[in-house]
């Protein structure tokens, strides 16, 4: 069935809070309105209500059955809301309730997915209810390749659309001349945990910069499970004023923060299409990053818009930063090129144009053949069913003691998943 309404209505599973999924929604929603597309951020149930942060809420955010803990009831409430609101397209993203509802939705509702992170669970939920998927969006080449080669995704259904950032937000920051005088100003923005964000590499990088005699300051913005570990390992640098922990930043404060950063330090071990890196480049920061094949080397041109170092290569990382500290004219040139190229490749206007094309093509095509399942056959999305891990059989006091020790030494995310 082809929609006859002028406006396309889309339910996007997310929660208004500090995170990449909601940032994507927040950047794309206003631009899609110019294409007569109404993108809604839909949160469902008690678990997501706990995460709901009122400071991030806009007029497109919807919270359903906020006191409900049962997944089936959450899924049924979402399905009812889709009918009441005239939803045309559903993108479940990482919402258990929405993904679990997909087999039961009306046949006329199209289902799309978006892969935004390179890890097993992210790929699996991208292909949830794969029989119903009209299109799959991959945000970087690595994700597209993995979906096809490792998870059996249909290449004909996959579109490559990087994330989009609003350039205007960072115009003032991009106009500032970098590295004019004084210490080289380093900055990090992100979740302070190691498994994905790699923050426990920071102390090693900082110590190497110190040994090389680099004159620097380093501002670290974010919160997370490894903040105390970082504070302990960087105590001497915090004491002498070279390192400062800023805490978590609201979206409105990020541009001002980046406007005072010369070199953006990006040490993630895996990502999708990281908004923090795109924002830093748009703001005129020069990124130094580890190589995540098909992701960071897709975003950053090594030696032109930033530097790419071997994964976990802290010595090389410090060397590249030191080079920028010595050659300030090169720093300024790279900052200008990074800001210009990011605006050309990763603007929210460009992303919205691509998404609008996909949404319209999906709605103009006949709805896929699908017989909705009865609610009596309901089961939670299987991608969320975790296998038993080695520590699941241990008594609680033993598990707690092990986890506390690993957290203390900074290894909890690496060995205790």
Which one, of 151, 162, 154, lies nearest residue 124 by Cα? Answer: 151
Q: State whether 236 and 338 are in the same domain.
A: yes
Residues 327 and 298: beta-carbon distance below 8 Å: no
Coil/strand/helix, residue 149: helix
pLDDT, tens digit (0-9, with 9 covering 90-100), for 75-88: 999 999 999 999 99
Asked if residue 180 is part of any domain, the answer here is yes
> Are 241 and 172 within one domain?
yes
CA 153 to chain centre: 21
DSSP code of 369?
Answer: P
- Interhelix angle 275-282/20-33, nearest 10 degrees: 60
Q: What is the CATH number of the domain that holds 103?
A: 3.40.50.2000
Residues in the chain: 417
Task: Work out the pLDDT band at 390, boundaries 50, 70, 90.
Answer: very low
Q: List CB contacts of 292: < 8 A, sequence separation 6 or more.
A: 118, 142, 268, 269, 270, 271, 311
Q: Does the pTM of the predicted model rise above 0.85?
A: yes
Buried b (16+ CB within 10 A) or exposed e, 181-215: eeebbbbbbbbbbbbbbbbbbbbbbbbbbeeeebe
C-beta of residue 285 within 8 angstroms of C-beta of residue 307: no
Domain identity same for 160 and 173: no
pLDDT tens, 338-381?
999 999 999 999 999 999 999 999 999 998 888 999 999 999 99
In the sheet that holds 37-44, the strands lie side by side as 61-64, 37-44, 8-13, 89-91, 110-115, 133-138, 158-160
- Angstrom distance (rounded) from CA 285 to CA 76: 46
Q: Are residues 159 and 60 in the same domain?
A: yes
What are the residues whose beta carbons fall under 8 Å from the beta carbon of 280, sequence distance 6 or more?
187, 189, 258, 261, 264, 266, 287
pLDDT for position 277 = 97
Q: What residue numbers bound the domain in which 365 lies?
A: 8-164+348-384
Tell me, yes or no, whether 36 lies in a domain. yes
Average pLDDT (146-168) is: 96
User: End-to-end distance of the chain based on CA atoms, in angstroms?
Assistant: 44
Dump pLDDT digits (tens) for 275-321: 999 999 999 999 999 999 999 999 999 999 999 999 999 999 999 99
Q: What is the pLDDT of residue 4?
A: 42
Total domains in the chain come to 2
Do both 362 and 221 map to the same domain?
Answer: no
Tell me the average pLDDT across 219-237.
98
CA atoms in the 13 A half-sphere facing the CB of 237: 25
């Amino acid at each position: 069935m082809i929609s006859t309404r002028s406006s396309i209505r889309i339910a996007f599973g997310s929660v208004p809070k500090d995170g990449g999924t909601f940032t994507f929604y927040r950047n794309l929603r206003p631009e899609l309105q110019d294409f007569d597309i109404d993108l809604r951020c839909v949160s469902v149930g008690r678990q997501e209500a706990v995460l709901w942060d009122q400071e991030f809420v806009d007029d497109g955010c919807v919270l359903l059955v906020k006191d409900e803990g049962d997944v089936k009831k959450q899924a049924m409430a979402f399905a009812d809301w889709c009918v009441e609101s005239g939803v045309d397209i559903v993108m479940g993203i990482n919402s258990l309730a929405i993904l679990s509802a997909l087999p039961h939705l009306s046949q006329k509702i199209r289902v799309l997915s978006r892969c935004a992170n390179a890890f097993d669970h992210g790929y699996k939920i991208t292909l949830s209810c794969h029989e119903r998927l009209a299109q799959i969006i991959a945000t970087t080449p690595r994700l597209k390749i993995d979906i096809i080669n490792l998870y059996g995704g249909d290449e004909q259904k996959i579109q490559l659309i990087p994330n989009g950032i609003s350039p205007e937000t960072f115009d003032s920051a991009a106009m500032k001349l970098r590295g004019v005088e004084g210490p080289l100003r380093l900055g990090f923005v992100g979740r302070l945990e190691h498994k994905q964000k790699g923050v426990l590499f920071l102390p090693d990088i900082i110590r190497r910069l110190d040994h090389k005699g680099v004159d620097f300051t380093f501002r670290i913005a974010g919160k997370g499970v490894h903040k105390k570990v970082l504070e302990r390992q960087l105590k001497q640098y915090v004491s002498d004023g070279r390192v400062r922990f800023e805490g978590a930043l609201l979206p409105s404060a990020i541009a001002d923060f980046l406007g005072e950063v010369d070199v953006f330090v990006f040490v993630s071990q895996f990502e999708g299409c990281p908004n923090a890196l795109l924002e830093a480049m748009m703001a005129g920061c020069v990124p130094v990053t580890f190589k995540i094949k098909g992701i960071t080397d897709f975003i950053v041109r090594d030696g032109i818009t930033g530097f790419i170092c071997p994964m976990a290569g802290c010595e090389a990382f410090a060397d590249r930063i030191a080079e920028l500290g010595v050659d300030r004219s090169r720093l300024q040139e790279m900052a200008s090129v990074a800001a210009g190229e990011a605006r050309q490749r990763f603007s929210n206007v460009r992303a919205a144009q691509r998404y609008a094309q996909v949404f319209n093509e999906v709605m103009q095509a006949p709805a896929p053949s699908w017989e909705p399942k009865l609610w009596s056959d309901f089961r939670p999305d299987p991608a969320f069913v975790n296998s038993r891990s080695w520590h699941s059989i241990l008594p609680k006091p033993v598990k707690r003691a092990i986890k506390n020790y690993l957290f203390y030494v900074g290894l909890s995310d690496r060995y205790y998943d």
